[in-house]
Structure 1
């Protein structure tokens, strides 16, 4: 059995990562990642499922792109799970709570496969440091109201936004649903599971 992780760290960004045991794997990026999937009779930390409040961080023993669970007071811990949600084959359909800096899709593969896998849970994580790209306007995490995007609908930090960029006033299905103040509704290409199809852009 092999654990895999899809790390979603921003609007439209994702990475797929693997691990060789039932405990850890993940990847870096604007955020971090980690995983632990199926439960194990031994009850070891690395084999159990994630729970709200768990912490994780890089696992140098498995490579620069791997992560594992840590006690939150250990020096290796870099993020805490704000929420644990169901796994999904459609990562964009998962909406983590406000303040989420990184999103981890934990999956299990059987037979030693290094590709694919069955999603089992989603970890919504927040950095333990003062660096929070998932906060509104900070330029990372999931797209939320208060963020900023460029003309190509790519999330950017509001502090670096220019006159051609827009502030997100709403995320809706139809342009007619955009709130007052919207000057540039941006219609997105269809994406299965995404809860919105239009970014309501206004002045930054």
Structure 2
């Protein structure tokens, strides 16, 4: 049995972004990011400049987003990892990523070069942090997360403290390389991905 969003369903972005990634899960170790169209950057970008580079911040948004100084009131989240291409083809985001932004290919604001297709792994500047263990969201299932049944062979992540729409039924207690390494008390195996792709979950 695998964790995260049902197959083929796009997820939404974190609580501070209108398109939330926190509720929707595919049965794989990392959920696909929600799709947002990048707004016009607020500074000029040449061919060698990265839009939303690591440690830069994005503003609050609904259907678009822009860069914002991390110290400004408009800043909502910080980039903790940035990759070109599609999330399905590239490196996974760090485990405690709160949400993922799709960045579509678009001309640079100054007309010189283009901003290539990519994705940014985001961490909210302020709580809540759905990507934290037990937080009930984020693009990856990690040790400490809780899940509930979502149909035959499917589970979805939910907050361990019961604050989500569904009560937690299982909690991932260990990440291992194979099912044989899970303890005897394991009631559910959750696919996590990565070097230790099997999550050993106990019933709550």
Equivalent residues of 2:38, 2:65 under 8 A apart: no
Deviation at 1:197, TM superposition (A): 6.6
Q: 1:28 aligns to what?
A: none
Q: 2:142 aligns to what?
A: 144
Aligned partners of 1:163 and 1:127: how far apart in 2? 24
Richer in helix (by share): 1
Q: What's the secondary structure of 1:50's corresponding residue?
A: coil
Deviation at 1:106, TM superposition (A): 2.0
Per-residue CA deviations over 1:107-141 (Å, capped at 9, x if unaligned) read: 3168xxxxxxx974331111111211111001010
Q: 1:95 aligns to what?
A: 92
Taking structure 1 as reference, are residues 19 and 132 closer, same or farther at Cα in structure 2, changes over 3 Å only? Answer: closer
Aligned partners of 1:56 and 1:163: how far apart in 2? 32
Equivalent residues of 1:87, 1:105 under 8 A apart: no
Q: 1:18 aligns to what?
A: 37
Aligned partners of 2:34 and 2:137: how far apart in 1? 15
Q: 1:155 aligns to what?
A: 157
Taking structure 1 as reference, are residues 54 and 7 closer, same or farther at Cα in structure 2, changes over 3 Å only? Answer: farther
Superposition TM-score, scaled by structure 2 size: 0.63
How many corresponding residue pairs?
165
CA-atom RMSD, angstroms?
3.7
Equivalent residues of 2:34, 2:102 under 8 A apart: no
Q: 1:167 aligns with which of 164, 171, 177?
A: 171
Superposition TM-score, scaled by structure 1 size: 0.63
Equivalent residues of 2:34, 2:101 under 8 A apart: no
Equivalent residues of 1:144, 1:168 under 8 A apart: yes
Deviation at 1:57, TM superposition (A): 1.2
Aligned partners of 2:182 and 2:52: how far apart in 1? 37
Equivalent residues of 2:98, 2:129 under 8 A apart: yes
Equivalent residues of 1:147, 1:168 under 8 A apart: yes
Taking structure 1 as reference, are residues 81 and 186 closer, same or farther at Cα in structure 2, changes over 3 Å only? Answer: closer
Deviation at 1:20, TM superposition (A): 6.6
Aligned partners of 2:129 and 2:144: how far apart in 1? 14
Greater relative contact order (CA < 8 Å, ≥ 6 in sequence): 2
Per-residue CA deviations over 1:88-113 (Å, capped at 9, x if unaligned) read: 3516x642223311112323168xxx
Greater CA drift, 70-79 or 99-108:
99-108
Aligned partners of 1:18 and 1:73: how far apart in 2? 24
